[in-house]
């Protein structure tokens, strides 16, 4: 009975309320040793954090249910399954009964997927497509006419029960045990009925039993942040808490995000019951790094990577997530307290790690273990032409790696569980292969400031002492030790050139990364910041001058230290100290000549006897030696007086102190008198002590007199001090604001701002050519050869982009000049008006004499875009430059941003505001209640993670209010609120999205939401001329489009074998590509994927651009050649592409 099935299998058995989730702890939340505490938002996942280089490079998800996707499974209590993308399923039989005269009819209830899904694209019986006529109780057309019926639902919460057809010739008695009470809400369902015989007396139909069924689905609809205008950076009508707005997707990261967020019970009003979880992890959004999933989705779209398959609650949650991300070239990671993803894509290093960042013993592993160091991968994927079964594609290998392995082939087979495209499987296998060769790993205990580095970030390690010279790494894991205030980074090497190989842009794989060369006789010299030289006394005095060299030995290999002084920076040197480093790090240098200049040299000596280069500091001038002065105005007493005056409020009673001093001296005199045998010899010394006391009284009296003379001016001095402190406080506040402003990273308005995408978006101009170097050793950059030229002006510029008049802009760039004798290297922004006229400039420039063989950073800040400015042009250029032979220029890390100061460089060019600090400022707005100028803006909630800060307009009367008066309110470039119609209107390409905030709109005044083609007036919009929407009248929702990805194609025949008895030219039979559901003209391109090359000849395509073609090959005697061809079809109407695989076998010899 389906009622029991619905109650147990798809509700109770897999539903966990929020309270139950908290009580069972984290193991139930994600499984496999992982925990997730939803209340605190802290993720602790053993499966995520226990990562080794080999395990992360080649993720093989263990999802047993994927092997039963196509099976027709008879189990009313089966686990819940969900279809993803465009895929085929066998369904789960939850009801079966025979009925009618002599039980000649059979009905089956089949669960296809958790809903809602987009559509049931097709149904196949024993491999043949069967269509059904909705006008005749969904009776089959064609071969099964009058013998088969089928109804389906899309898994909406309000779906009614499906019933068998009525009026059958032998349909009495009717079906029992099934009725209107057997609805399957939120389950895509098929009710399938067959008549087993034309004549009830025999069984002349389905003689081989019930045909093997297969449903082709456009799977689950889900929330996609990129198409939600309320998500930062998103654009579209989807809303995360209204499932009715969700869309269909075949993007792996959309399904992975939905799985991590959890699949819950849906209500008919569009809301989601978060107390009833059906499947997935169920993590709150605060515990998910949603921007990382969005980034992965964008990369998957750019690479054409899709997902095809189904998940099952019988598999572990962790393994299910791994399988989904595998289809998108990603893997799950722990980023702080959030579930995040690491995506295979080119990365820009955001930090250079040096020796000064290291605080402990580093661990370096230069190679992957031999058993994991493969050089060949054979990918397996689900092939639609082969009945959606897993088939092996051609091996993915690289001669570079086989050479490194001394010619030995080390292969492994990897099954890409949710991949149905041969090309995608090959690219993912190539990525797995190159990641397996990223065997260089490092564990670096680091200083606390590196807590800002997270898993997934890319950094450059430049520590030659560790044999790591400018080596790029990806951070796989960070561990914070709060007791020692440090952080440990676990790194895996990152090779830029591997991406071009994996994506088929080059046929040569990069070599495996290795340690840099180390000179055993080299020891790093002391660092200037670690050492200082202090002269004693600071100025002239009565003692012999010395200098104290102060520093700590930071190089672990240093066994001893040599400190020397000399009269010049080149010596000759006199040794001050030579030996093991002192604990206090202080090395005094006596015997200096007063008033002479000295230089100090510090060197390290390694355990093997190697001596480092010198650290030389100076010149330092030894203090002058002056005669003693005991007058009240002597420098020593003057300093004492200054100290007394500075501490005026803490002066003690000097008379009391003197009285106590006299008492002490008298007591001392008594002790001296009582000394045995020493009284006569001490008399003269006692007289001297008394005289010193008298002299001291006189000097102290004069000092006190001077202090009293200053008393009248003390108040004025204090006022001056307060003013000085006030001025300094204001200066510090301004400096702090500048630092805060620089720490708040604003979006970079420049697309391809550092040559990581080559010359994309740039156009050369002038006498020389700018060339991109995305994989340069010191980072992506542009450069131009300018050797021997003079009076040169050239560069490259980006296309014009919008700008806002009256707003501040800041520009920064790293500029390089090599062999440059005159002129300047620049980054220039040109502000323009609507007619293209120039309104102003913003320029970051470096003149020819600013370069010392490298790049310099130049900033220009707070340039206000002049009035009438509507756009800007940005270019990198050389102005009137002259160069020696071999001279060149370079540019990198260009950033133009809207704001008063330059923030840290970033390469986003997005609309997402990442700033986590908002400056409070008062705003003169008119209070809404009493027309007084007493309102202000203030922060109501600070920014947290990916959530921006909330700012409210606060009235002086204690209310929050925000008022705008405008006929139309624009948000961004493509969204407007129209006051006259109370509608939001967003244009995305050729589609417009309308939402009413007041009265309904449209030709019949019944539309609440409508999206469709642009160009239709608001008053002419109807459910018939839109794509989809909602309305105030029945049926309340409408949709007029099938998803464009229902465009499909297949080959007839699916494979060919061509044969001849002897050697010679051999032509195969014709193969035709058939397609359906195209929206426009269809073009085709054939290519040979695998095989077909022998000594006798190469298999060729006779009609490379036709839907029907043959294949020809010259064969030798007794030959067999296996070849795989692929046809790529493009639908001009929708832009969709489909690939069809055709295996062809050429044979010769005796049959």
Please provide the DSSP assignment of 727-763 as one string. HHHHHHHHHHHHHHHHHSPPPP--SS-SSTTTTTTEE
With 90 as the cut, is the pLDDT of residue 58 above it? no
Strand (E) or helix (H) holding 1101: strand 1100-1101
With 70 as the cut, is the pLDDT of residue 219 above it? yes
With 80 as the cut, is the pLDDT of residue 364 above it? yes
Least confident of 13-17, 330-334, 639-643: 13-17
Least confident of 53-62, 189-198, 504-513, 942-951: 53-62
Tens of pLDDT, residue by residue over 262-271, are 999 999 999 9
With 90 as the cut, is the pLDDT of residue 602 above it? yes
Classify 1140 as helix, strand or coil. strand
Strand (E) or helix (H) holding 619: strand 615-621
* Token pair of 550 as six digits: 């102060």
With 70 as the cut, is the pLDDT of residue 204 above it? no
Q: Taking residues 258-278, report their average pLDDT.
A: 95
Question: What share of the chain has pLDDT > 90, as a percent?
Answer: 38
Please list, residue by residue across 540-564, b when 16 or more beta carbons sit within 10 angstroms of its beta carbon and e when fewer do. ebeeebbbebebebbbeebbbbbbb
Q: What pLDDT, on a 0 to 100 scale, did the predictor assign at position 681?
A: 44
Among candidate residues 583, 617, 894, the one with its CA nearest the CA of residue 756: 894
Instruction: Name beta bridge partners: 994.
Output: 985, 1010
The pairing of strands 968-971 and 950-954 is unpaired
Among candidate residues 361, 376, 440, 454, the one with its CA nearest the CA of residue 414: 376
Q: What pLDDT, on a 0 to 100 scale, did the predictor assign at position 56?
A: 43
Highest mean pLDDT among 664-678, 715-729, 906-920, 1117-1131: 1117-1131
Q: What pLDDT, on a 0 to 100 scale, did the predictor assign at position 1100?
A: 93
Q: What pLDDT, on a 0 to 100 scale, did the predictor assign at position 57?
A: 42
Rounded Cα distance between 873 and 798, Å, is: 7
Q: What pLDDT, on a 0 to 100 scale, did the predictor assign at position 923?
A: 35
Longest C-alpha distance within the chain, in Å?
Answer: 150
Rounded Cα distance between 2 and 18, Å, is: 27
Q: What pLDDT, on a 0 to 100 scale, did the predictor assign at position 625?
A: 59
Order of strands, sheet of 574-579, starting from the edge strand that comes earlier in the sequence:
574-579, 558-566, 597-606, 615-621
Q: What pLDDT, on a 0 to 100 scale, did the predictor assign at position 689?
A: 40
Q: pLDDT band for 273, please (50, 70, 90 cuts).
A: very high
Tens of pLDDT, residue by residue over 299-327, are 999 999 999 999 999 999 999 999 999 99
- Cα angle vertex 820, ends 816, 821, to 5°? 145
The pairing of strands 247-248 and 213-222 is antiparallel
Tens of pLDDT, residue by residue over 524-568, are 888 887 888 888 776 555 456 788 889 877 666 678 899 999 999
The CATH code of the domain at 1047-1148 is 2.60.40.10
* Token pair of 223 as six digits: 């929330």
Q: Please give the residue that has the higher pLDDT: either 921 or 600.
A: 600
Using CA atoms of 49, 55, 61, 62 in order, give the dihedral in degrees to the nearest 10.
Answer: -90
The pairing of strands 376-383 and 411-415 is parallel
Is residue 64 within 8 Å of 97, Cβ to Cβ?
A: no
With 90 as the cut, is the pLDDT of residue 353 above it? yes
Question: What share of the chain has pLDDT > 70, as a percent?
Answer: 76
Among candidate residues 338, 332, 262, 337, the one with its CA nearest the CA of residue 21: 262
Is residue 950 within 8 Å of 938, Cβ to Cβ?
A: no
Q: What pLDDT, on a 0 to 100 scale, did the predictor assign at position 17?
A: 27
The angle that helices 317-326 and 252-261 make with each other, rounded to 10 degrees, is 160
Classify 60 as helix, strand or coil. coil
Q: Taking residues 274-303, report their average pLDDT.
A: 94
User: Under CATH, what is the fold of the domain 528-621?
Assistant: Immunoglobulin-like (2.60.40)
The pairing of strands 1071-1076 and 1048-1052 is antiparallel
User: Could you write out the DSSP letters of every residue in 1025-1091?
Assistant: SSSEEEESSTTSEEE----GGG-EEEEESS-EEEEESSSEEEEPPPEEEEEES-SS-EEEEEEEEEE
Classify 1084 as helix, strand or coil. strand
Q: Taking residues 982-1006, report their average pLDDT.
A: 88
Q: What pLDDT, on a 0 to 100 scale, did the predictor assign at position 232?
A: 92
Asked whether the CA dihedral 1145, 1146, 1148, 1151 is positive or negative, the reply is: positive
Q: Please give the residue that has the higher pLDDT: either 1040 or 399.
A: 399
Beta strand spans in 464-515 (E)? 468-481, 486-493
Q: Please give the residue that has the higher pLDDT: either 983 or 963.
A: 983
Q: What pLDDT, on a 0 to 100 scale, did the predictor assign at position 741?
A: 44
**How many CB atoms lie under 10 A from the CB of residue 843?**
16
* Token pair of 233 as six digits: 């950076």
Is residue 420 within 8 Å of 310, Cβ to Cβ?
A: no
Q: Is the entire prediction scored with pTM above 0.75?
A: no
Rounded Cα distance between 887 and 789, Å, is: 9
Rounded Cα distance between 861 and 821, Å, is: 28
Q: pLDDT band for 1076, please (50, 70, 90 cuts).
A: confident
**How many CB atoms lie under 10 A from the CB of residue 722?**
10
Q: What is the mean pLDDT of the chain?
A: 79
Q: What pLDDT, on a 0 to 100 scale, did the predictor assign at position 493?
A: 92
Q: What pLDDT, on a 0 to 100 scale, did the predictor assign at position 692?
A: 43
Q: Taking residues 114-128, report their average pLDDT.
A: 92
The CATH code of the domain at 762-898 is 2.60.120.260
Rounded Cα distance between 903 and 925, Å, is: 29
Classify 991 as helix, strand or coil. strand
Is residue 759 within 8 Å of 796, Cβ to Cβ?
A: yes
Q: Please give the residue that has the higher pLDDT: either 373 or 317.
A: 317
Q: Residues with Cβ < 8 Å from 1010, sequence gap 6 or more? A: 993, 994, 1001, 1002, 1021, 1026, 1029
Q: What pLDDT, on a 0 to 100 scale, did the predictor assign at position 845?
A: 92
Strand (E) or helix (H) holding 352: strand 352-353
């Amino acid at each position: 009975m389906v009622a029991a099935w619905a109650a147990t299998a798809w509700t109770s058995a897999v539903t966990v309320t929020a309270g139950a989730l908290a009580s069972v702890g984290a193991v139930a939340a994600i499984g496999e040793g992982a925990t997730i505490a939803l209340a605190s938002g802290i993720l602790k996942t053993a499966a995520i954090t226990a990562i080794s280089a080999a395990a992360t490079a080649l993720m093989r998800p263990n999802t047993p249910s994927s092997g039963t996707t196509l099976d027709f499974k008879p189990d009313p209590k089966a686990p819940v399954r969900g279809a993803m993308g465009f895929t085929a399923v066998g369904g789960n039989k939850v009801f079966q009964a025979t009925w009618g005269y002599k039980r000649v009819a059979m009905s089956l209830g089949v669960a296809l997927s958790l809903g809602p899904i987009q559509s049931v694209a097709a149904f196949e019986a024993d491999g043949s497509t069967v269509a059904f006529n909705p006008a005749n109780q969904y009776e089959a057309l064609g071969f099964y006419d009058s013998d088969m019926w089928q109804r389906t639902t899309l898994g909406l919460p309000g779906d009614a029960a499906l019933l068998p057809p009525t009026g059958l010739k032998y349909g009495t008695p009717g079906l029992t045990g099934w009725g209107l009470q057997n609805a399957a809400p939120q389950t895509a369902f098929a009710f399938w009925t067959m008549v087993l015989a034309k004549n009830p007396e025999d069984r002349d139909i389905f003689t081989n039993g019930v045909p093997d069924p297969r449903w082709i689905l456009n799977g689950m609809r889900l929330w996609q942040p990129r198409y939600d205008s309320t998500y930062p950076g998103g654009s579209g009508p989807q809303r995360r808490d209204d499932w009715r707005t969700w869309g269909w997707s075949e993007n792996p990261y959309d399904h992975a995000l939905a799985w991590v967020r959890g699949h819950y019970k849906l209500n008919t009003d569009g809301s989601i019951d978060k107390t009833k979880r059906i499947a997935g992890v169920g993590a709150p959004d605060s515990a998910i790094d949603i921007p990382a999933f969005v980034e992965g989705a964008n990369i998957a779209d750019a690479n054409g990577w899709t997902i095809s398959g189904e998940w099952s609650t019988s598999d572990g949650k962790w393994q299910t997530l791994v399988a989904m991300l595998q289809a998108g070239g990603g893997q799950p990671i722990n980023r702080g307290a959030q579930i995040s993803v690491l995506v295979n894509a080119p990365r820009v290093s955001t930090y250079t790690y040096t020796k000064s960042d290291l605080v402990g013993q580093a661990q370096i592993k230069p190679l992957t273990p031999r058993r994991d160091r493969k050089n060949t991968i054979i990918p397996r994927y689900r092939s639609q032409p082969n009945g959606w079964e897993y088939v092996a594609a051609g091996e993915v290998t690289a001669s570079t790696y086989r050479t490194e392995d001394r010619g030995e082939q080390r292969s492994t087979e990897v099954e890409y569980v949710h991949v149905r495209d041969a090309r995608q499987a090959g690219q993912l296998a190539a990525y797995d292969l190159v990641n397996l060769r990223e065997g260089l790993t490092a564990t670096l205990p680091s200083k606390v400031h590196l807590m800002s580095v997270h898993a997934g970030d890319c950094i450059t390690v430049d520590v030659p002492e560790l044999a790591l010279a400018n080596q790029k790494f990806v951070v796989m894991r960070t561990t914070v030790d709060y007791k020692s205030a440090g952080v440990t980074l676990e790194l895996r090497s990152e090779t830029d050139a591997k991406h071009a190989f994996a994506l088929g842009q080059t046929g040569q794989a990069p070599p495996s990364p290795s340690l840099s060369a180390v000179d055993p006789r080299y020891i790093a010299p002391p660092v200037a910041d670690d050492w200082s030289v202090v002269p004693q006394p600071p100025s002239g005095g009565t003692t012999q001058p010395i200098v104290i060299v102060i520093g700590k030995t930071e190089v672990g290999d240093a066994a001893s230290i040599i400190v020397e002084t000399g009269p010049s920076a080149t010596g000759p040197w006199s040794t001050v100290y030579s030996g093991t480093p002192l604990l206090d790090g202080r090395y005094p240098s006596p015997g200096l000549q007063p008033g002479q200049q000295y230089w100090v040299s510090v060197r390290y000596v390694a355990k093997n006897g190697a001596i480092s280069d010198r650290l030389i500091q100076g010149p330092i001038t030894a203090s002058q030696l002056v005669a003693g002065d005991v007058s009240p105005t002597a420098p020593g007493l003057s300093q004492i007086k200054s100290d007394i005056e500075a501490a005026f409020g803490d002066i003690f009673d000097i008379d009391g102190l003197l009285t106590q001093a006299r008492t002490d001296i008298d007591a001392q005199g008594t002790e001296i008198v009582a000394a045995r045998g020493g009284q006569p010899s001490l008399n003269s010394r006692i007289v001297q002590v008394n005289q010193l006391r008298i002299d001291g009284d006189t000097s102290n009296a004069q000092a006190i007199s001077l202090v009293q003379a200053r008393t009248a001016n003390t108040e004025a001095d204090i006022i001056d001090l307060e003013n000085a402190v006030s001025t300094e406080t204001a200066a510090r506040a301004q400096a702090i604001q500048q630092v805060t402003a620089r720490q708040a990273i604003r979006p970079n308005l420049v697309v391809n701002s550092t040559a990581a995408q080559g010359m994309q978006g740039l156009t050369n101009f002038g006498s020389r050519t700018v060339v991109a170097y995305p994989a340069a050793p010191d980072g992506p950059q542009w450069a131009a050869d300018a050797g021997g030229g003079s009076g040169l002006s050239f560069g490259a510029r980006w296309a014009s982009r919008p700008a806002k008049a009256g707003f501040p802009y800041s520009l920064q760039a790293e500029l390089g000049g090599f062999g440059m004798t005159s002129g300047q290297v620049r980054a220039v922004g040109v502000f323009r008006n609507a007619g293209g006229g120039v309104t102003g400039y913003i320029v970051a420039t470096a003149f020819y004499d600013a370069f010392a063989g490298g790049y310099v950073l130049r900033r220009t800040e707070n340039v206000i875009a002049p009035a009438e400015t509507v756009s800007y042009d940005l270019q990198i250029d050389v102005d009137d430059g002259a160069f020696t032979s071999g001279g060149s220029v370079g540019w990198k890390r260009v950033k133009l941003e809207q704001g008063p100061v330059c923030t840290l460089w970033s390469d986003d060019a997005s609309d997402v505001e990442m700033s986590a600090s908002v400056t409070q400022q008062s705003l003169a707005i008119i209070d809404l209640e009493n027309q007084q100028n007493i309102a202000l803006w203030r922060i109501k909630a600070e920014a947290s993670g990916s959530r921006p800060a909330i700012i409210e307009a606060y009235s002086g009367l204690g209310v929050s209010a925000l008022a705008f008066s405008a006929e139309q309110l624009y948000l961004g470039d493509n969204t407007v609120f129209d006051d006259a119609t109370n509608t939001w209107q967003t244009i995305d390409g050729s589609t417009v999205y309308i939402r009413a905030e007041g009265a309904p709109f449209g030709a019949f005044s019944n539309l609440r939401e409508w999206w469709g083609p642009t160009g239709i007036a608001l008053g002419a919009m109807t459910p018939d001329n839109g794509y989809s929407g909602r309305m105030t009248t029945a049926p309340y929702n409408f949709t007029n489009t099938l998803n464009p990805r229902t465009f499909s194609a297949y080959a007839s025949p699916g494979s060919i074998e061509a044969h001849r008895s002897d050697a010679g030219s051999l032509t195969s039979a014709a193969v035709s590509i058939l397609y359906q559901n195209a929206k426009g003209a269809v073009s085709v391109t054939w290519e040979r994927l695998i095989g077909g090359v022998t000594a006798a000849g190469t298999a060729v395509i006779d009609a490379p651009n036709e839907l029907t073609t043959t294949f020809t090959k010259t064969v030798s005697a007794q030959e067999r050649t296996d070849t795989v061809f692929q046809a790529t079809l493009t639908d001009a109407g929708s832009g969709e592409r489909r690939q069809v695989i055709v295996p062809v076998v050429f044979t010769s010899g005796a049959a």
